[in-house]
Amino acid sequence: MRLCARQQQLNALLPLFRTLWHPQPFREARPAWCEHWPALTEELLALDDEAATALNADGHAALVALARHIPEVTALTPLLKLEQRQPPPASGDGERWAWEIPGRKRAQIEAFAAAASSDGQPVLDWCGGKGHLGRLLACQWQVPVRTLEIDAALCRAGEQLARRLGVGQEFIAADALGTDLQAAAGQHAVALHACGELHRRLIRLGAEQGVARFDVAPCCYHLHLGEVYRPLASVSSLPLTADDVRLAVTETVTAGARERRLRDRSMACKLGFAAWRQQLSGDAYRSFKPVPEAWMRGNFGDFMAQVCRREGLEPPVGGDLERFERRGIERQREVFRLSIVRHAFRRALEVWLAGDLAVSLEERGYAAVLGVFCARELTPRNLLISARRD
């Protein structure tokens, strides 16, 4: 399917389901859709932990479950089928380029390198960390590579690794948000998991300055965003808040049982506090500042004492403390289940966001493709925008 046609269809379809993906059950005890679809609500609230965890983790399965109640959502399914790019080569042990790289990260980098291809231009590795991707490309493509990274210590570590391998890779310790891209004219820009405005700036400014090729796997679309998303492509017309954009990247495949327990407890504590604050003030839900991890280490009473002190509220005591702890646990259970509905739309939003970047490059004269460079088990941020201008 043509990029632009997919983007237009998502522009038209996603607003039809906005009442399903926009409300956050963390903030609204019962989003309005619960009243419209009581059977769906009942079915979700009755799920056991295992089934709820599986549906929260698998957007496709969530969409299928939703379609049993709201068949119209299946119109999204064909739009989410993207070209699978080159499968990664079997990863042998001990290649010299890959010293010190954890297995999953290494497999992501190898998959990215296999899915991208070179016309021999010098490479600009954008927000490259220790430059692992750049080092592999310098090795495989035999081209000079410049890795731009804000953290000078990572640059130094990367320089050492490059020297050890004897490849032509240079590091620039600089802020990608302040760097002018003139020197990148005619070059091949690659970016593996540069967050939010970092990848948007590369694409926007890089296209203006005449970058010849792009291979960009975006992540954390919501970072450095402001309150709303401003599309890069003229054809993109879906209004999204920063919270909507964040929804696109809430999927994680790496959480183990312990991490999940900690996440659930942390959410239950916050929901217990939100309920207590609402009882004291009588107001609707208000967001609150992030809570330090350390506050979760003690019991619920310790947590409430700290967060209430910060927010200038009396903490609950005695029966109230127990009641609000229970309330938080019950709310967490419900929020987890009702969130399956939003999570069914996560991939569609991500495809729209990546589609916006890809179409913006088409509009600027590039031949662009949006594909998938690795299995989601390796990383859910597995979309790759590849573009070239001859």
Ligand X SMILES: C[S@@+](CC[C@H](N)C(=O)[O-])C[C@H]1O[C@@H](n2cnc3c(N)ncnc32)[C@H](O)[C@@H]1O
x/- letters, 300..319, toward ligand X (CB under 6 A): --------------------
| Closer by beta carbon to ligand X, 101 or else 341 | 101
Nearer to ligand X (CB atom), residue 31 or residue 196: 196
Q: Which residue number, 25 or 128, has a Cβ lying nearer to ligand X? A: 128
Nearer to ligand X, 193 or 331 (CB): 193
CB neighbour class for 175 (10 Å; exposed up to 12, middle 13-18, buried from 19) = exposed
Looking at the Cβ atoms of 339 and 379, the one nearer to ligand X is: 379
CB of 350 to ligand X, least distance (A): 16
Closer of 52 and 374 to ligand X (Cβ): 374
Q: How far is CA 59 from CA 7, 62, 64, 76, 214, in A?
A: 19, 5, 9, 12, 28
State the Rg of the chain over Cα: 23
At 297, give phi and psi (nearest 5°).
-75, -30
CB of 112 to ligand X, least distance (A): 8
State the nearest-atom distance from the C-beta of 44 to ligand X, in Å: 33
Within 10 Å of residue 375's Cβ, how many Cβ atoms?
15
Q: Are 256 and 228 in contact (CB under 8 A)?
A: no
- Give strand pairing partners of 189: 124, 214
How many angstroms separate the CA atoms of 330 and 308, rounded? 21
Query: For the chain, how many residues are written?
Result: 390
Q: How far is the CB of 353 from ligand X (least distance, A)?
A: 17
Task: Give the interface segment with ligand X, choosing from 148-156, 242-250, 276-284, 373-381 (CB under 6 A).
Answer: 148-156
Residues ≥6 apart with Cβ < 8 Å to 379: 104, 108, 193, 253
* Residue from 65, 167, 176 nearest 127 by CA: 176
Does 150 help bind ligand X (rule: CB under 6 A)? Answer: yes
Q: How far is CA 76 from the centre of its chain?
A: 19
State the residue for tokens 């490259």: 128
CB of 83 to ligand X, least distance (A): 22
Smallest gap from residue 139 Cβ to ligand X (A): 16
Nearer to ligand X by Cβ, of 331 and 381: the residue is 381
Q: Which of residues 153-212 bind ligand X (CB under 6 A)?
A: 154, 175-177, 192-194, 198
- Please state, in angstroms and rounded to a whole number, the distance separating the CA atoms of residues 346 and 222: 13
Residues 252-271 that bind ligand X (CB under 6 A): none
Scan residues 109-138 and list those touching ligand X (CB under 6 A).
127-129, 132-133
CB of 195 to ligand X, least distance (A): 6
Count of residues that interact with ligand X, criterion CB under 6 A: 16
Q: Site residues (CB under 6 A) for ligand X?
A: 127-129, 132-133, 149-151, 154, 175-177, 192-194, 198
